[in-house]
């Protein structure tokens, strides 16, 4: 009998840990990602700025739009419980899941709310990404990212500095200056995110975009002007970066 009860409890815990239809307090990782328990979900149907992405505001000044997108998602949740319906493995990384996530008691998905506020773009290819009217309204009203100038998050993540400029304040005569601001040579480290990422052709041998360097890596001190900053190894790997081979192995727990 005890074995049967223990088995049921174990199975129940496993089901809850997947986050399928389970309401829990969420930990916001960035504007596109949150964690429920041990499961990390990428919000389906949208593309939000990476945590270290920069944009231009309506006054032509750079601003940390990736940080703001993260904060906006946290503000939307407001400490309430979140329910995520698991719709499968995230195609960009097997360590994460795709989820349609909603605040408990609210029928509108967090994905749609972020697009409405202008802090995420609609993804046409997604089965649940039907937020084109919300994106158009945010663009017309110059909300969030649309108030200034930016590149699509997917283009920022691959370092495509010549991608299309989006937003209501992208004067053609300042194209060069805008791109230099969006992709600066010396990117300031976001608070608490000290993992350096560098795009590298040699990383493509392993199917990656680049290489990330931890403080425990011999290469870390001499690596100037990183292309990306990451808050965790999981974030770096999800972005398509692999660990530098000269890093000391992680300490056994």
Q: Let me know whether 62 and 100 are in one domain.
A: yes
Examine the fold and report which residue of 182, 214, 235 is the final residue of a domain before the chain moves on. Answer: 182
Domain that holds residue 221: 195-243
Q: Does residue 7 lie within any of the structural domains?
A: no
- The answer to whether residue 107 is domain-embedded is yes
Domain total in the chain? 2
State residue 5's pLDDT score: 45
Kindly state whether residues 115 and 237 are assigned to the same domain: no
Per-residue pLDDT of the chain (253 residues; tens, 9 = 90+): 444 444 444 334 344 444 445 567 899 999 999 999 999 999 999 999 999 999 999 998 999 999 999 999 999 999 999 999 999 999 888 889 999 999 988 999 999 999 999 999 999 765 555 899 999 999 999 999 999 999 999 999 999 999 999 999 999 999 999 999 999 988 889 888 999 999 999 998 888 999 999 998 999 999 989 999 999 999 999 999 999 999 876 665 5
- Is there a domain that residue 252 lies in? no
The pLDDT score that the predictor gives to residue 186 is 87
pLDDT at position 12 is: 41
Residue-level pLDDT at 128: 57
Same domain for 137 and 237, yes or no, is: no
Predicted local confidence at residue 127, as pLDDT? 54
pLDDT at 192: 87
Residue 235 domain-assigned (yes or no): yes
The answer to whether residue 251 is domain-embedded is no
Do 178 and 64 lie in a common domain?
yes
Q: Are residues 106 and 62 in the same domain?
A: yes
pLDDT at position 191, please? 86
Report yes or no on 4 lying in a domain: no
Nearest to 19 by CA among 38, 45, 44: 38
225 with 153, same domain?
Answer: no
Q: Please, which residues have CB within 8 angstroms of residue 24's CB and are 6 or more apart in sequence?
A: 36, 37, 81, 82
Are 117 and 218 members of one domain? no
Q: Give the CA distances from residue 134 to residues 19, 117, 129, 181, 207, in Å, rounded to whole numbers and listed in that order.
A: 27, 8, 11, 28, 35
What CATH number is associated with residue 173?
2.40.50.90
Q: Which of 131, 157, 182 is the last residue of a domain?
A: 182
Residue-level length of the chain: 253
Q: So what's the pLDDT on residue 125? A: 65
Q: What is the pTM of this model?
A: 0.84
Q: Does one domain contain both 215 and 90?
A: no
User: Are 129 and 162 in the same domain?
Assistant: yes
Question: What b/e sequence results for 78-94 when a residue is b if at least 16 CB atoms lie within 10 Å of its CB, and e otherwise?
Answer: eeeebbbbbbeebeebe
Domain assignment of residue 97, yes or no: yes
One domain for residues 177 and 77: yes
Residue 202 and residue 178 share a domain = no
Residue 189: per-residue pLDDT: 92
Assess whether 90 and 204 both reside in one domain.
Answer: no
Last residue of a domain, one of 149, 182, 215: 182
The pLDDT of residue 91: 87
Q: In this predicted structure, what is the pLDDT of residue 16?
A: 42
The answer to whether position 6 is within a domain reads no
Tokens of 182: 């969006």
């Amino acid at each position: 009998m005890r074995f049967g009860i223990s088995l049921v409890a174990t199975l129940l815990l496993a089901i809850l840990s997947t986050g399928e239809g389970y309401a829990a307090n969420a930990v916001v990782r960035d504007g596109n990602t949150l964690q429920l328990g041990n499961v990390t979900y990428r919000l389906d149907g949208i593309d939000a700025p990476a945590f270290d992405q920069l944009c231009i505001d309506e006054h032509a000044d750079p601003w940390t739009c990736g940080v703001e997108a993260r904060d906006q998602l946290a503000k939307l949740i407001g400490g309430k419980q979140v329910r995520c319906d698991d719709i499968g493995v995230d195609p960009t990384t097997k360590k994460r899941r795709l989820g349609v996530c909603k605040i408990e008691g609210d029928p509108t998905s967090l994905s749609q709310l972020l697009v409405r506020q202008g802090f995420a773009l609609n993804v046409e290819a997604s089965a649940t990404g039907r937020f084109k009217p919300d994106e158009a309204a945010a663009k017309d009203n110059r909300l969030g990212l649309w108030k200034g100038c930016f590149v699509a998050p997917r283009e920022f993540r691959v370092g495509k500095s010549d991608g299309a400029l989006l937003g209501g304040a992208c004067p053609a005569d300042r194209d060069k200056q805008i791109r230099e601001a969006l992709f600066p040579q010396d990117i300031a480290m976001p608070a608490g995110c000290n993992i350096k990422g560098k795009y590298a052709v040699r990383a493509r041998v392993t199917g990656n975009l680049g290489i990330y360097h931890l403080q425990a890596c011999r290469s870390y001190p001499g690596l100037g002007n990183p292309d990306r900053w990451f808050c965790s190894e999981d974030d770096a790997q999800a972005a398509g970066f692999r660990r530098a081979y000269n890093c000391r192995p992680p300490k056994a727990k």
